Amino acid sequence: MPRKSSVSEYSSEVQEEAATVQPRVRQYRHKAEGHRRRLRDKFLESGLSGFHDYEVIELLLTLATPRRDCKEIAKAALSRFKTLHPEYFRH
């Protein structure tokens, strides 16, 4: 094998090889993949009337919290405050 005389010869070989390499494709789906999209679609389709209380909180949290699971936080908030009904908050 002849010796390479310049860096450009190496870089062109690397570029050609990189062009032939296929990116790895994930073989599995995370169980929550697409959950935010499904939650949003459900809201657009039926409004809040089709939601459980924790789902309303979860939907609001997803708007302010990128790339984080909000379901458990929503359930914990509902457990603490017991309800979303405005009568509960009136004094």
pTM assigned to the model: 0.57
Please report, for the chain, the start and end positions of each structural domain, with discontinuous segments joined by +: 33-91
Cβ atoms of 78 and 59 closer than 8 Å: no
Q: How many C-beta neighbours within 10 Å does residue 62 have? A: 19
Residues 6+ apart with CB under 8 A from 32: 69
Cα separation of 79 and 53, whole Å?
11
DSSP letters for 20-59: HPPPP--SS--TTTTHHHHHHHHHHHHGGGGS-HHHHHHH
- 26-71 tens-digit pLDDT: 666 666 678 888 899 999 998 888 888 889 999 999 988 887 888 8
